[in-house]
Amino acid sequence: MERDENPRVVKVPPDLARALKANRAAKAAWDRLGCTHRQEYTLAVTEARKPETRVRRVEKTIAELSAGKR
């Protein structure tokens, strides 16, 4: 077994990226998150079936990150 040294990259959906760009506190919190936490937030947004659910999840993500929640 070998150690995986490759950097982990999470592809952020465009709507979440725009929301992060618009909110400094949320962006700063996002930048401090580990890969797993980023992936959890991203997955919650991308798995939404309805557009209104996706919007709510983006808003919830920004609110949680702004409040300092992981």
Q: What is the pLDDT, as a whole number, of residue 31?
A: 96
Q: What is the pLDDT, as a whole number, of residue 54?
A: 98
Rounded alpha-carbon distances, angstroms, from residue 43 to 5, 17, 48: 23, 13, 9
In the block, tokens 């798995």 appear at 47
Q: What is the pLDDT, as a whole number, of residue 27?
A: 98
pTM value is 0.87
Tens-digit pLDDT profile for residues 9-61: 899 999 999 999 999 999 999 999 999 999 999 999 999 999 999 999 999 99
Q: What is the pLDDT, as a whole number, of residue 56?
A: 98
Q: What is the pLDDT, as a whole number, of residue 70?
A: 76
Structural domain boundaries of the chain?
A: 14-66
